[in-house]
Amino acid sequence: MTAAASTLAPRPGFLARRRRSYLLFVAPALLVVGAVIIFPWAFTVWMSAFDWKIGSVAHFVGFDNYTQLATNKRFLESILHTFYFTLLAVIFPLILGTIAALIFHREFPLRGMLRSIFTMPMMATPVAVALVWTMMFHPQQGVLNYLLSLVGLPPSLWVYSPTWVIPSLVLVEIWHWTPLIMLIVLGGLAALPTEPYESARLDGASEWQLFRYITLPLLAPFLIVAAVIRTIDALKAFDTIYVISQGGPGTASETINLYLYLQAFAFYNVGNASAVVVVFFVIILALALLLLHVREKAKWT
Amino acid sequence: MDVAAGRVPAPGATSARWRRKLRKVGFGFSVLVIVSPAILVFLWMLSLSLKNEIDNLAYPPVFIPGQLTLRNFVQVFAENSMGL
Amino acid sequence: MTDRSRDDHTDALRRRLLQAGAGAAALGALPGASLLGAQAQGTFDWKRFKGEKIEVLLVKSPRGDLLSKYHKEFEDMTGIEVGSEMVPEQQQRQKAVIEFNSGNPSFDVIALSYHVQKRQFAKNNWLTDLRPMINDRLMADPNLDFADFAQGGLNYAVEADGRVMSLPLNLDPWVVYYNKELFAAKGVAFPKTFAQMIDAAAKLNDTGKGVSGFVGRGLKNANVPVWTSFLLGYGGGFVDKSGKLMTDSPEAVESAKMYQTLLAKYGPQGVAGYNWNEAQSLFLQGKAAMWLDGIGFAQPLEDPTKSRIVGKVGYGVMPAGPKQQVSALFADGEGISTFSKKKGPAWFYLQWASNKANQTRMLQAAAGAPVRTSAYAAAQASSDFKSPKEWVECMLTSAKIAQPGLPIIAAVTEFRDTFGIALTNMINGADPAAELKRATAEFQPVLDKTEKA
């Protein structure tokens, strides 16, 4: 009787041992996450409560760094620049990437090779790309103004004009990242079912109607994913802006990230910079959550 | 007319064929427009690397220089160990 | 301080000679040495630290390249192994701060850019005072010849209290490069005063042909020395004795107006984003009549594979302002980390890097402008010499009228940033007086905080 019972029920120490070995397996990963993610984050928040310039003593100031940021005109402007830059750098690649995906979805000769060529910009090193674009942007000796002159347009100041610097930088971002969007959307297109199209065509729908009422809604989840990825990347964009304009002319293209870099690594105001990091993180998190919320809603259509 | 009826296509079909051809050309053109920025920048990068400094700074830009040079590449490998 | 060390040495020498009376005969193999301003001959031996290893942190630049090329010579001469790292400028500065701050830097010798790092290093006592080793007969190279270093360089190397924290290696006074051909075509002579300079820029500015009368840095942070070049000529200063900024004084506003006129009116389109690189390439293509920048950028100008104006380049000394004729000076040198456990071998490296041979090589290779005045004569005498005579003359004249082009403060990068932004805004049409006032108000608290700490 007892023998049968003991073979049916798990032995008492079994679950406990299971849990212990479970912890043992998780421990290394926990350690890594703790060291690489949690500790630096906690230390940053800790540092943001101090006024600390590297090379001198740190003074505890509590929330002072944050209150100063709230009234810091340069910081507030950088938030505006960041949003402006991000908005442009997300919308245009989305539109152009979708168009490119639609084109590459069709069969045509040399499609494979041309698609590979199209994805080349994505694979180039950001800094190298930025340097080449800097040369192309040169008002007197750059190729872009030369091309403009060929079609009869006057030369532009590109990144040397306070008004046009952010759109010009966005141009580089578009060139660089549209292939990524194209690949995501192309994947989505490939997964689309063909039945709705057949029945719609039988009903006499035009190409545009097909796109708007069938393709687009079905693509929505993929577009949202692409938008989330692009938004987070665009918010954090640094190397392109730093290499090409360093946040200039003046502070016209200084985004939060550039401002942060300046504070931390040029002025060594680590306390102030940490406060900027915390604020920046909150902004990114808020935007990401917003987009994911939109994604949830899109799932219903 | 009766004899040719079998061989001459119906009137609407000719314009349909032209429309198809036009759409194909339009499509090819849009492919070109999409792919050219991608490759042209890389071609420009290649051009820059094979020219002397004096041609690189010239305006109007020199696309295919009179004098090609491999000096830039030699310099890069000479100055950097690149972990090799 | 040069005179003081000379006296110390002659005294020390006298004492030792008296002591070593009988032994003098044994030391008869001494090479003939003059007692003039020289450390005593004796048992200075390059091979004293044989077998040791030192780490050197250099900046990626023609000078860094040059020194690295000859490291083998040092190793053979002293038996000290040299591990060196060449890092781009911005990163080298950050690396220095972070490593010094940790208390355990990976280098023994560090190259430093005085206008950026001198005050920062001095305030935190990160470098070793070299005086004990300079005065130590056994440690100092007989050919050290401190008097050979130009005064401008020594001003940077020596602290106000007399401590010698580094050896200067390279001087960079600012000069006006000009296109002789463009000047001759319009019959304009090289300007001798600020008023003539603006006049010349106006006459030579030819937008139809795409030629700018003047080009200079407009990019924030990099552009400040252009303004300070004018500021010094107007007799203005940076910080007064009480620690208050003088950057909104009438002289400052006048010089800012000059900056605005020259760049916005007679400069190329988009100059607000120009760093020395863009300005140099415009000048190289013959599209600018005058270019105000450091003398160290001259090398590509005479290189036929890079320049369209070879042989047409004029090297002009900074014109005189209403109050004085000053050339803004920047310099760099090398120092020994105070945390180093190998100060002796590091000091030997410093002496070698700044010796006459290396300084002459620097000039010959046009890698920079040496601090040692003897290097100029030596280089010119050699057949390898590539730099034009005019460049050398300009260099020597400018060095005589040189003054630091930036305030020697700890927050110099922020200074450049704050005022650089103001200057760039001026190019885009902002009012100079208002911008300077705003920038001064913005920077004063930073200055107060960083100078007192």
Residue, of B62 and C176, whose pLDDT is higher: C176
Inter-chain contact B54–C300, Cβ cutoff 8 Å? no
Q: For the domain covering C174-328+404-452, report its CATH number.
A: 3.40.190.10
Q: Look at residue B18 and tell me if it is in a domain.
A: yes
Judged against a pLDDT cut of 50, whether residue C31 lies above it is answered with no
Residue, of C92 and B12, whose pLDDT is higher: C92
- Shortest alpha-carbon distance between residue C111 and chain A (Å): 18
Q: For the domain covering C40-172+330-400, report its CATH number.
A: 3.40.190.10
Contact between C289 and C236 (Cβ < 8 Å): no
Paired tokens of A70: 């709230």
Instruction: Provide the chain C residues 117-176 that lie in CB contact (below 8 A) with chain A.
Output: 120, 123-124
Inter-chain contact B57–C304, Cβ cutoff 8 Å? no
Judged against a pLDDT cut of 70, whether residue C403 lies above it is answered with yes
Q: What is the pLDDT of residue A299?
A: 67
Per the structure, the complete domain to which residue B23 belongs is given by 1-40
Chain B adjacent subunits, 3+ CB pairs under 8 A: A, C
Judged against a pLDDT cut of 60, whether residue C208 lies above it is answered with yes
Q: From the candidates B57, B59, B68, B74, which should be mutated to test the interface with C, based on the most C CB atoms within 10 A?
A: B57
Q: Where are the domains of chain A?
A: 12-47, 64-298
Nearest to A218 by CA among A111, A102, A92, A118: A102
Q: What is the pLDDT of residue C66?
A: 87
Residue, of A301 and C67, whose pLDDT is higher: C67
- Shortest alpha-carbon distance between residue B55 and chain C (Å): 8
Query: What's the full length of chain C, in residues?
Result: 453
C284-293 pLDDT, tens digit each? 889 999 999 9
Question: Is residue C432 reached through a cis peptide bond, with omega within 30 degrees of 0 on the bond before it?
Answer: no
Spell out which residues of chain B touch residue C308, defining contact as CB-CB under 8 Å.
54
Inter-chain contact B41–A121, Cβ cutoff 8 Å? yes
Inter-chain contact B57–A146, Cβ cutoff 8 Å? no
Judged against a pLDDT cut of 50, whether residue A38 lies above it is answered with yes
Q: What is the pLDDT of residue C11?
A: 46
Residue, of C8 and C299, whose pLDDT is higher: C299
* DSSP assignments along C252-318, one per residue: HHHHHHHHHIIIIITSPTTGGG--HHHHHHHHHTT-BSEEEEEGGG-GGGG-TTT-S-TT-EEEEPP
Closest residue in B to C306 (Cα) is B54
Spell out which residues of chain C touch residue B53, defining contact as CB-CB under 8 Å.
300, 303, 305-306
Instruction: Provide the chain A residues 72-131 that lie in CB contact (below 8 A) with chain B.
Output: 99-100, 103, 106, 108, 114, 117-121, 124, 128-129
- Shortest alpha-carbon distance between residue B57 and chain A (Å): 6
Q: Can you tell me which residue has the tokens 């013959």?
A: C286
**Comparing C40-172+330-400 with C174-328+404-452, is the CATH topology the same?**
yes
Nearest to B61 among A114, A120, A146 (CB): A146
Is C221 in CB contact (< 8 Å) with chain A?
yes
Instruction: Provide the chain A residues 223-262 that lie in CB contact (below 8 A) with chain C.
Output: 245-251, 262
Instruction: Provide the chain B residues 11-70 that lie in CB contact (below 8 A) with chain C.
Output: 52-54, 57-59
Nearest to A65 by CA among A229, A275, A217: A275
Burial of C389 (0-12, 13-18, 19+ CB in 10 A): exposed
Judged against a pLDDT cut of 90, whether residue C377 lies above it is answered with no
Is A139 in CB contact (< 8 Å) with chain C?
yes
Closest residue in B to C283 (Cα) is B57
- The 8 Å CB, 24+ separation contacts for A285-294 are A287/A231, A287/A232, A287/A235, A288/A228, A288/A231, A288/A232, A291/A224, A291/A227, A291/A228, A291/A231, A292/A228, A294/A224
Dist. CA A89–CA A175, nearest whole Å: 10
Is A161 in CB contact (< 8 Å) with chain C?
yes
A206-223 pLDDT, tens digit each? 878 888 888 888 888 899
Dist. CA A93–CA A174, nearest whole Å: 5
B20-70 pLDDT, tens digit each? 888 888 888 888 888 998 899 999 888 888 888 777 777 778 888 878 888
Q: What is the rounded average pLDDT of the residues A154-170? A: 91
Chain A adjacent subunits, 3+ CB pairs under 8 A: B, C
pLDDT band for position B81 (50/70/90)? low
Q: What is the pLDDT of residue C162?
A: 86
Q: What is the pLDDT of residue C313?
A: 93
- The angle that helices A270-298 and A216-235 make with each other, rounded to 10 degrees, is 180
Q: What is the pLDDT of residue C251?
A: 92
Q: Where are the domains of chain C?
A: 40-172+330-400, 174-328+404-452
Contact between C403 and C232 (Cβ < 8 Å): yes
Angle made by CA atoms C436, C240, C430, in degrees to the nearest 5: 5
Q: What is the pLDDT of residue A260?
A: 93
Judged against a pLDDT cut of 80, whether residue C282 lies above it is answered with yes
Question: Is residue C31 reached through a cis peptide bond, with omega within 30 degrees of 0 on the bond before it?
Answer: no
- Decide: helix, strand or coil at residue B16: helix
Inter-chain contact A143–B44, Cβ cutoff 8 Å? yes
Q: What is the rounded average pLDDT of the residues C149-175? A: 87
Q: What is the rounded average pLDDT of the residues C390-400? A: 87
Spell out which residues of chain B touch residue A117, defining contact as CB-CB under 8 Å.
35, 38-39
Dist. CA C96–CA C107, nearest whole Å: 9
Q: What is the pLDDT of residue C4?
A: 44
Look over chain C and give the mean of its residue pLDDT values, rounded to a whole number: 85
Question: Considering its fold, how many domains does chain B have in total?
Answer: 2
* DSSP assignments along C404-428, one per residue: ESS---TTHHHHHHHHHHHHHHHHT
Q: From the candidates A268, A269, A270, A272, which should be mutated to test the interface with C, based on the most C CB atoms within 10 A?
A: A268
Q: What is the pLDDT of residue C419?
A: 94
Q: What is the rounded average pLDDT of the residues C235-256? A: 91
Q: Name the fold adopted by A64-298.
A: MetI-like fold (1.10.3720)
Q: What is the pLDDT of residue C2?
A: 42
pLDDT band for position C7 (50/70/90)? very low
Q: What is the pLDDT of residue C110?
A: 94
Spell out which residues of chain C touch residue B62, defining contact as CB-CB under 8 Å.
none
Inter-chain contact A140–C269, Cβ cutoff 8 Å? yes
Q: What is the pLDDT of residue C19?
A: 44
Judged against a pLDDT cut of 60, whether residue C37 lies above it is answered with no
Judged against a pLDDT cut of 90, whether residue C441 lies above it is answered with yes
Judged against a pLDDT cut of 80, whether residue A24 lies above it is answered with yes
- Decide: helix, strand or coil at residue C53: strand
Q: Among A64-78, C156-170, C357-371, C419-433, whose mean pLDDT is lowest? A: C357-371
